[in-house]
């Protein structure tokens, strides 16, 4: 009986260690963050490593998060929609940041088309079992107030309808400051990207940290 009791304690101890090990392993499992955006996320016109995505990657290292920046300068929501299935299949991300729409707006493309493309991307990400952060953008007022407001409102509509968090306006505290832009007045300087990250970070971090 004494031997049996000792064996029982040993087995229980081993099971406890195994359970803790598996739990710790699951907790520390690295996550993959995929960013699908346009030139605002692709470091257009600035040094590599100076963009908001790279800055986010530095901050996320402590959380063991792998960041993949699949942003392409000039990308539209249509292009993002066509690329999304392959990106999801290849990288199997846990979190996907969708930062698209600026080029649709600059080209004056229909808001309904952009909304449909963004909706399809969100659905694809959710179907793949990943979480989504949608990043909003405004178009210049010279496109007309009605178009500009409908375009900006599209992001809030999608956020509520699809149940995904939204970083409302990535260029908050940047858009109204010409000194923070490159000569084309469309692409922010490297000095603006910490501000951009500051606009996105409060919405991104909770998603990344969630199990």
Low-confidence ranges of the chain (pLDDT < 50): 2-7, 10-27
pTM above 0.75, yes or no: yes
According to DSSP, the residues that pair with 181 across neighbouring strands are: 188
122, 163 Cβ separation under 8 angstroms: no
CA distance to 58, 151, 171, 200, per residue, from 176 (Å): 27, 18, 9, 18
Matching CATH number, 30-209, of 3.40.50.1100, 1.10.10.10, 3.40.50.300, 3.40.50.1110: 3.40.50.1110
Hunting for tokens 């952060």 — which residue is that? Answer: 133
* 39 catalytic residue (yes or no): yes
> Which 3 state secondary structure label does DSSP give 99?
strand
Inter-residue contact 36 to 121 (CB < 8 Å):
yes
Domain boundaries, the chain: 30-209
135-188: pLDDT as tens digits? 999 998 888 899 999 999 999 999 999 999 999 999 999 999 999 999 999 999
Catalytic: which of 25, 28, 89, 184? 184
* Catalytic residue selected from 78, 116, 148, 187: 187
Distance CA 173, CA 175 (A): 6
Kindly report the number of other CB atoms within 10 A of residue 41's CB atom. Answer: 29
- The single residue of 38, 39, 94, 159 carrying the catalytic annotation is 39
């Amino acid at each position: 009986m004494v031997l049996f009791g000792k064996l029982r304690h040993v087995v229980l101890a081993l099971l406890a260690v195994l359970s803790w090990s598996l739990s710790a392993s699951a907790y520390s499992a690295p996550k993959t963050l995929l960013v699908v955006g346009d030139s605002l996320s692709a470091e257009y016109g600035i040094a590599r490593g100076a963009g908001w995505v790279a800055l986010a990657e530095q901050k996320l290292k402590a959380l063991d998060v792998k960041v993949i920046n699949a942003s392409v300068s000039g990308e539209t929501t249509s292009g993002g929609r066509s690329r999304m299935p392959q990106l999801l299949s290849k990288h199997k991300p846990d979190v996907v940041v969708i930062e698209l729409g600026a080029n649709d707006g600059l080209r004056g493309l229909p808001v309904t088309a952009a909304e449909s493309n963004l909706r399809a991307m969100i659905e694809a990400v959710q179907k793949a079992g990943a979480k989504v952060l949608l990043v909003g953008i405004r178009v210049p007022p010279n496109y007309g107030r009605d178009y500009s407001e409908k375009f900006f409102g599209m992001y809030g509509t999608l956020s509520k309808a699809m149940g995904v968090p939204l970083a409302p306006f990535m260029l908050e505290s940047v858009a109204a400051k010409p000194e923070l832009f490159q000569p084309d007045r469309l692409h922010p300087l490297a000095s603006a990207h910490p501000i951009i990250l500051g606009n996105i970070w409060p919405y991104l971090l909770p998603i990344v940290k969630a199990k």
